[in-house]
A and B are shown apart, each in its own frame.
Chain A
Amino acid sequence: MPRALWPLLHHRPVVQVILALAQGGQPLVRNLLADTGAGTAQGAFELLLEETDCLLCGGLPLPGVVLGGAYTGTYPIYLVRVRVPILGVDHDLPAVGVPAGPAGFDGIACFRFLNRFSYGNFADPGQFGLET
């Protein structure tokens, strides 16, 4: 089964995704904090991204969502094409757009996204990974 592993970033688990730009050109590579405490398995979004990235990628707008906790208030959701090539992931996923991701990261891979996979350190404490 395919497995993607990434070294911890700022001592935290990270998932690297690729976002295609709407106007073509080099795709965006984004490091997302892997956070099981972000959203729920049935939540309205799978990722939290900077809104500018959602717009650069031609994200399709959905209704906004009300967030509580580290982010409070109503934020827009966009459907964004997301790739993790090693896992064969190439899907349109709902991402909530915020002004800035958590410090040191470009956004968050929320629980609904992580829960698509087996996830963890796979016996290597210096890495975090996803397996299909």
Chain B
Amino acid sequence: MSTSNAVQEINRELARRLVEEARSNPQSAYAGKLVGIANGQVVAVADNWDELARRVRQAEPDPRKTFLIEVDRDYDKVEHIWGLR
């Protein structure tokens, strides 16, 4: 596994734990927030994407070592693209 893949796995696992924490504890600092992770650590918490992206890029210029999450978002929900391809 390459270094960036390994970092991605660690980042995703941390994101999963943050989501679990926010779901079980609405008082969590991450509830309702956008969270930026780099190299297995939370490096930014923000209320909008512009601010989050700026701070994450500052912390880690290589996007492959970063991961962002909208903590309250249900990413398993199916979203439809009705147009034809």
Contact = CB atoms under 8 A, between A and B. Distances in A.
A67 B77 CA distance: 9
Contact of A38 (B49, B66, B73, B81): B81
Given A64-B75, A68-B78, A108 B83 contact: yes
Contacts, number: 97
B43 to A, nearest CB: 11
Interface in A71-119: 71, 79, 81, 91-94, 100, 102-103, 108, 110
Interface string B60-85: 00011011111001011111111111
Q: Is the interface of A mostly helix, strand, loop or mixed?
A: strand
B45 interface: no
A15 interface: no
Nearest to B51: A92
A62 B37 CA distance: 10
A44 B79 contact: yes
Q: Is the interface of B mostly helix, strand, loop or mixed?
A: mixed
A92 B53 contact: yes
A33 interface: yes
Interface residues of B, number: 29
B83 A79 contact: no
A65 B76 CA distance: 6
Contacts of A64: 75
Given A63-B15, A63-B69, A65-B75, A91 B85 contact: no
23 contacts: A22-B63, A35-B81, A35-B82, A44-B79, A48-B81, A58-B63, A60-B36, A60-B53, A60-B67, A61-B8, A62-B67, A62-B70, A65-B79, A66-B76, A68-B78, A68-B79, A68-B80, A69-B80, A70-B81, A79-B49, A79-B52, A93-B49, A108-B83
Given A39-B80, A39-B81, 15 more contacts: A22-B63, A45-B79, A58-B63, A60-B36, A60-B56, A60-B57, A60-B66, A60-B67, A67-B79, A67-B80, A79-B53, A91-B50, A92-B49, A102-B83, A102-B85
